[in-house]
Amino acid sequence: MEIKRVANAAERVRTDLVAVPLAAGMPTSRELAELDAATGGKLLREIRKRSADPSKQGVVSVYQTHGEMRADLIAVIGVGRGESGSDLAPDVWRRFAGQALDAARGARAKTLALSIGSARSGAAAAAALGAVVEGALLAAYQIDGFKTARGGFRVERCVVAGAPSSRDAQRAVERAQALAVATCFARDLINGPAESITPDYLGRTAKRLARGRGLSVHVYGPDELRRLKMGAILAVGRGSRNEPRLIEIVYRPQQRRASAGPVALVGKGITFDSGGLSLKPPGSMEIQKRDMAGGAAVLGAMQAIAALRPPIEVRGYVASAENMPDGRAYRPGDVLRTFTGKTVEVLNTDAEGRLVLADALGYAAAGGIGRRVKPRWIVDLATLTGAVTTALGRSIAGVMGSDPELVRRLIEIGRETGEPMWELPLVDEYLAGLDSPIADLKNTGDGTAGTIFGGLFLREFVGGLPWAHLDIAAVAFADKSRPYVPRGAVGWGVRTLVELVERAARD
């Protein structure tokens, strides 16, 4: 979809449909008043006639202009309550853009204008511009490549009306485009079938991603994993003909702030999870191509970071394997030796994500290839536990960590990016539940608090560094579409990781 921005007010834009936000508790915006004037006062009368509360979040009302203005249709979109009468938050603008795009598709409008004239001047207007561009591009995503016929109706052009023309505005657009492209790249990986998206494919994709972007990549195959003594990831991948990989992808800025030490992002990349010998039931297995959503988010974030070029070194790691049952598969009762030297007794082969992450986290904490300077902090993402869905539902990720400030910052960023999360405690009292009579740890707890036990297990492999873990099992895939999130892979975490890195570069 083509994106343009113009300084003109919405009523002056020639388009099939123009969308305008309506916030509760705020006076009628200038843009809505101008649209009303352009229709001879009919618009506001019709709005009041049709709905008791047209400003309620999610209420979309579409009106014919009957040739009285340059747009054929007007969509008035309720965005809920503004922030104490001030400008709307970025995620409100993203949702507005997503709902507008949905309204345009419903009306089969090929061209759409998004009015942001109600945003105040300066930084707020630039933020609104970036948010609507981001939301529109994310909402326009469709899965391509597998249907014999082209997908549903597509909006061809989106114009942002009332847009500022400052340098800040231009940077906001460029950033929004980089984030949306990277998120959609992650969505494509997650939505792809597991027969195609294998550990080797992810490794080759990382190499293609690096070309011309100033990224360096090393993909560790089975021989190198054995040399590094990564017994956990090797065991998980042993039952599949698609052998495991550890992907290391590094961004090094041309100019780096002296105080900004490197940071590390780690993603679980299980390209298909059958459960191994602890086999999943069929209903649970059919969705397991999405078990690499954390790894896809790391690759997407690295793509955006390379485009935005923050002055900080960023190291990305994806621990990728396919968890399958065959005569070579690892078994309950096996003892695995990880990269750090710690041993793990396997009680359930379906608790495999924490095993591959154990090797990746240990390697990241050690400084990666060549044992470079250790990272300032590590953040990992994983579709780790079903228990997080029971605890938090399908809209909120779980976050745990050893560093309160890192966890606090992630929660704050998640509110801004529309990727909310809630902190769960790392209860030291529960550590006894991971005790094994023959190894350093078991890979499962006592049957309770599954998400917390997963976090406690992972903490054992970060070498005492500041660390946070995001359990995204509930939020990585959408069973039904939401504003700017089509049904299917969400690409959850890409935008949060990028913002976290950018803030770290400013520290």
Sorted by where each begins, the domain ranges of the chain are 2-161, 180-506
**Architecture of domain 2-161 in this structure:** 3-Layer(aba) Sandwich (3.40)
φ and ψ at residue 183, rounded to 5 degrees: -65, -40
Which of 321, 467, 342 has its CA nearest to residue 399?
A: 467
Q: Which CATH superfamily is domain 180-506 in?
A: Zn peptidases (3.40.630.10)
Of 42, 110, 257, 280, catalytic: 280
Q: Are 460 and 342 in contact (CB under 8 A)?
A: yes
Helix (H) or strand (E) holding 24, with range, is strand 15-24
Provide the pairing of β-strand 157-161 with 2-6: parallel
Distance CA 9, CA 65 (A): 16
Q: By CB neighbour count within 10 A (0-12 exposed, 13-18 middle, 19+ buried), where does 102 fall?
A: buried
Distance CA 276, CA 328 (A): 11
Two tokens, residue 47: 């709005």
Q: Nearest-CA neighbor of 77 among 50, 64, 52, 95?
A: 95
The per-residue pLDDT for 82 is 58
Q: Choose among 441, 433, 489: nearest CA to 300.
A: 489
Q: Spot the catalytic one: 95, 354, 442, 459.
A: 354
3-state secondary structure of 267: strand
pTM: 0.95
pLDDT in tens for each of the 507 residues of the chain?
999 999 888 888 899 999 999 887 655 677 788 888 888 888 888 887 776 678 888 889 899 988 888 899 999 999 987 554 457 899 999 999 999 999 999 999 999 999 998 886 678 899 999 999 999 999 999 987 777 776 678 999 999 998 998 999 999 999 999 999 999 999 999 999 999 999 999 999 999 999 989 999 999 999 999 999 999 999 999 999 999 999 999 999 988 765 678 999 999 999 999 999 999 999 999 999 999 999 999 999 999 999 999 999 999 999 999 999 999 999 999 999 999 999 999 999 999 999 999 999 999 999 987 777 899 999 999 999 999 999 999 999 999 999 999 999 999 999 999 999 999 999 999 999 999 999 999 999 999 999 999 999 999 999 999 999 999 999 999 999 999 999 999 999 999 999 999 999 998
Pairwise CA distance, residues 468 & 471, whole Å: 10
- How many CA atoms lie less than 13 Å away from 340 in the CB half-sphere? 25
Q: How many CB atoms lie within 10 A of CB 182?
A: 27
Catalytic: 394? no
pLDDT at residue 84 in the model? 40
Q: Which helix (H) or strand (E) segment is 478 a member of? A: strand 477-478
Q: Is 280 a catalytic residue?
A: yes
How far, in Å, are 41, 296, 298 from residue 137 at the CA level? 33, 19, 20
Q: Which are the contacts of 384, defined by CB distance < 8 A and separation ≥ 6?
A: 268, 353, 354, 451, 454, 469, 471, 472, 473
* pLDDT number for residue 26: 54
pLDDT at 30: 75
**DSSP β-ladder status, 263-273 and 314-323:** parallel
Cβ-Cβ contacts under 8 Å for 321 (sequence gap 6 or more) = 199, 233, 236, 237, 240, 244, 245, 269, 270, 271, 352, 356
Which among 451, 414, 457, 450 is positioned nearest to 434, based on CA atoms? 457
pLDDT given at position 52: 66
180-506 and 2-161 share a CATH fold: no
